[in-house]
Structure 1
C-alpha cells in the first residue's frame, strides 16, 4: 500500500497555501466606545487581557519579542525559550474523562483511537503573541470601519490588521468574522522558508522538500483598502527534492472574494507553465495522500459560501501551543514522526481560551466534509485545531497546527501542521524543518508584482 501511494503522491505538487482575503456590507462595525476596549480590558487584538479565575490562564502582559539564549538571527526560531517548563499533567486514555471538558473532541478521538501511544503533555500556559505597532493601529481602525460583504465572503474597509478584533452581530456574523480574522491574521509582509512534507503509512514515509515564498499584500507598507488591487497575497512554491521532481511548482494570486473572483493559479513543471484549473474547496492535494483538501491548507483557507456558520462561544480548551521542540534541529524526522501521529513527547499543549466555530454544509452545496469545528486561539486568531465530520456524522479527520512564537516576526504562527485520518489510521505532515537549514525568514521588502508572474516561473525553470 505504501509504495503504491508514494508513486501517486510524490509527483504531485505541494500546495501549502497561506491565505488572506477581503471586498462590497452586511453589518455595521463596532462603536468607538467598544473599540476603546482594545489595549485596555482587551488586548490590542481583541483577546481578554485578564487571566481566568483559577489562574491556569495568565494575564496577557504585552507579548514576548525577547529571543532566547542561543538565538543568532532571523530564521533561528526553533530554540525553546521555556526549557525549564515541566508538564502540569498528561492527558491519557486512562484519565481522559477527568479532563474531558477541556479536551477538544478531535484530540479526545485521537486518544481513544491510539490509547497506547497518543497523549497530551500539558505545560504552563504562556501568552507571547504580539504584533508591530502598525498592525495594532490598523486593527484599532478596522474595529470601527470593517464589515462583511457578499454574504460574508469578503471584507470591506479594512487593511493591514485583524479586521474584526471585537466580534459582534448575529451568531453567523460572529463566526464569519472569526474566520476572517484567521484568514487575515498577522504573518508578516514577506516570508520565505524551506520545508518538507510527508505522508506516514505504517511508520514509513518519503519526503518532498519545497521552497516557499509569500508576500502578504494585505500588510504592504503604505497600503490601504483602496490599493489592494483585489490581491491579498502572492504565493510561490518550488519543489527542491527529490531530484526527479525538482523545479516544479505553483504560483497563486490570492483574491479577496473567491466567490466573485476565484484565486488565480499557475503550475509549472518540465519547462511548461500552465494556468491551473479551479483550485479551491475540497479539491484533494494528491501529495498529501488526499488527506488534505485545498481549503484544509493553512488549516483553513478560501471562501466561506458552502457552509452555514455558527459561533459556539469562547471556551477554555487544550490546544497545541509554543511548540518549539517538535521543530527543533536537535531531532530528525524519524524522531518526530511516530507510526500514527507526531511524537507526543515532543509536542506541547496548553490551556487557552478559544473561539469555537461550527460550520455545517449547506443543503444546496457539495463538499467532502459535512461538518467542521474550528478552535481559534483568542490571542493570535490562528485556527489551532479542526474536527472534520463525514456525511454520516462521524468524526473523520483531525487537523492540528503546532503554534509557536516567532521572535522577530513578532507573533504566533504555525511552523508545522498534521492531518490525521481516523478511518485509515494514517496521517500527513507539512512544515517539517528539522533536517533543513532553517525555519521561516521574515523580510520587509517587496520584490515587485513581476516577481510573482507566470514569466517568473519560466525564468526559475532555467535553474533546474
Structure 2
C-alpha cells in the first residue's frame, strides 16, 4: 500500500471516527430554545388543546416557601376535570400505560386517578440551560453506552435531542437535581393489611460543580456523590451507605461503601448495583429501582419507542403537604389516590430488554419519561416469563423556589404480592428538601462514614 493510499485511508477513518462520536450539529442544537424548549421538549401544545404550550415554567415566586422548606400549592384552587375509575376506564385507555391499567385490574374498588388541568411547570436556572446546549454539541456515548464522552464540559442532560433509547435514559440519569441537597425522608413497605414500619433516612447528594474542594482528577469521571444514613428504627439507625457514581462505568464502575453501626466497620459494597435488594426494602425493590432507574445501563438493549400522551402524576403539591400524616397517605395496596394529581403530558416511551447472557431479575423494563423534565414518571418491570411484575410512579412536583424538577415520593407496586414500597415522603419531618447546602468533598469519603454513623 503506497503512502498516498495510506494517507487517504487514515483520513477516511478519521472522518468515520469523528462521525461515530459526534453529538448533534450546530443547526440541530439551534432548535433548543426555539421550536423546542431549552431542555429539548416540544414547546407547542397539542392539537386538542389539552396540553398547553411551554411558556417558561413556574417562576421562583409561584408560592410561599415555609421556614421548614415546604412548598405552597400554586394550584390549590383547582378541582379535578374528571376521575378515572374501573367503571370508565375504557374511555381513557389510549392515554394510560400498561402498568396503570394493571393497577386498575389489581385494585378495582380503590384505585382511581383524579385528572386535573395540565400545567407545564418545569423551569431550570439559566446556566443549566446553557449547559444543556453544550451537552447537545459535545456529549456522545462510549463503549456500549455505559459511559459518556465530552460530558464534563456541561454536567447535565447528556442528550437533549436523543436519537435512541439509551440516550433518552441517560437524560434521566444526568438530569439536574440541584448542585447539592439534603432531605430527611421515610420509606414504608406496607403489609397487605396496610400495617407498616417507618424507615427514616437522611440523604445527601452533591454534584461536582457543588463541591469547591473537589480535585480535578476526582471530578473527571464523577457524576455525583451520595450518602444515605438510616436514622430510625433503632435496630438500623447509624448504618450509612456511600456511593461515588461515575460517568464512565466501564473505566471505573460505581464505587460504594457501607458502614455497619453494630460492627463499627466500613466495608466496600460492590453489591450496591443492578438487582441487589434495595435498602430495607423487604424484597420489594432492587437497587436500580431507586429513583425509578439508576446506575449502569449496560445489561439491557434500549429502544426508543416514541412519544405518547399519557396521564402521569404531576404537580403533586397536595400530597406533599406537611398538614398530612403518613397514615393519610399509606393505605393497603397502594398510596391514597384521592390525594394524587394526574395531568396529561407528553412522554418518551423507552423499552429495555435484557441482553443475551446478562443476568437481572427483570427481563424487560419500560419507562415513560416526562419530556419537560427528563424525569421517569412511570415504570414497568417484567419477570423472566415476560409477565408484568412491578409498576412504579413518581409524584412529580416542581420545586419552584430552587428551580429543580423533583417529586414528593416514588412508589413501586408488586402486582403479585399485593404489596408496595414508597420512599421519599417527608410530610411529618422537621424539614423538607434543602437545596444548596454547604458540603465538602471530604464528607463523601470512606473515612468520613464512621463519624456520620454514630447513633
Q: Of the candidates 49, 52, 72, which is equivalent to residue 55 of structure 1? A: 49
* Counterpart-to-counterpart distance in 2, 1:205 and 1:339: 10
1:161 aligns with 2:156: yes
Matched, 1:137 2:133: no
The answer for the alignment partner of 1:203 in structure 2 is 194
Matched, 1:411 2:404: yes
Q: Kindly indicate whether residue 447 of structure 2 is the aligned counterpart of residue 452 of structure 1.
A: no
* Residues 60-139 of structure 1: pairs in structure 2 closer than 5 A: 60-73=54-67, 75-77=69-71, 79-139=72-132
- Once residues 146 and 222 of structure 1 are traced to their aligned partners in structure 2, the CA distance between those partners, rounded to angstroms, is 25
Alignment match of 1:184 (pick from 164, 174, 186): 174
Structure 1 unaligned runs (5+)? 1-23, 169-173
CA distance in structure 2 between the partners assigned to 1:225 and 1:401 by the alignment: 35
Return closer, same or farther for 1:312/1:219 CA change in 2, 3 Å cut-off: farther
How do residues 436-447 of structure 1 correspond to structure 2 at under 5 angstroms? 436-443=429-436, 445=438, 447=439
The count of aligned residue pairs is: 433
Q: Which residue of 1 aligns with 2:224?
A: 233
Match of 1:257 among 248, 259, 266: 248
User: What SS does the aligned partner of 2:443 have?
Assistant: helix
Give the 3 Å change call, closer, same or farther, for CA 177–260 of structure 1 in structure 2.
Answer: same
Normalised to the residue count of structure 1, the TM-score between the two structures is 0.89
For residues 155 and 331 of structure 1, the distance between their equivalents in structure 2, rounded to whole angstroms, comes to: 42
Instruction: Tell me how far 1:400 sits from its aligned partner.
Output: 0.8
Out of 38, 41, 57, the residue aligned to residue 44 of structure 1 is 38
Instruction: After superposition, give the CA deviation of every residue in 1:42-68 in whole Å (9 maximum; x if it has no partner).
Output: 000000000000110000001113345
Q: In structure 2, what is the Cα distance between the partners aligned to 1:428 and 1:420? A: 7
Residue 222 of structure 1 deviates from its aligned partner by 11
Q: Which runs of 5 or more residues in structure 2 are unaligned? A: 1-17
SS of the residue aligned with 2:128?
Answer: helix
Q: Which moved more, 1:436-445 or 1:313-322?
A: 436-445
2: CA distance, partners of 1:307 / 1:461: 35
| Residues 109-118 or 142-151, more deviating | 142-151
Single out whichever of 390-399 and 420-429 deviates more from structure 2: 390-399
- 1:337 equivalent to 2:327? Answer no
CA-CA distance at 1:31 after TM superposition: 1.0
- Measured after TM superposition, the shift of residue 461 of structure 1 is 3.6
Q: Which has the higher contact order (CA 8 A, sep 6+)?
A: 1
**1:266-325 deviation digits (Å, cap 9, x = unpaired):** 111222222213321111125111111011111100111111111100111111111111
Distance in 1, Cα, partners of 2:76 & 2:215: 41
Q: 1:16-31, aligned counterparts within 5 Å?
A: 26-31=20-25
TM-score, normalised on structure 2? 0.91
User: Helix, strand or coil: the match of 2:138?
Assistant: coil
Q: Does 1:431 align with 2:421?
A: no
Query: What SS class does the counterpart of residue 335 from structure 1 fall into?
Result: helix
Cα displacement string for residues 136-159 of structure 1 (whole angstroms, at most 9, x for unaligned residues): 101111111111111111111122
Mean Cα deviation higher: 46-55 or 259-268: 259-268
Shift of 1:243: 2.6
Cα gap change, 1:108 to 1:218, in 2 (>3 Å): farther
Q: How far apart are residue 225 of structure 1 and its match?
A: 10
1:398 corresponds to: 391
Contact 1:26 1:151 in 2 (8 A): no
Alignment-derived partner of residue 370 in structure 2: 377
What is the RMSD computed on CA atoms of the aligned residues?
2.0
Following superposition, the deviation at residue 71 of structure 1 comes to 2.5
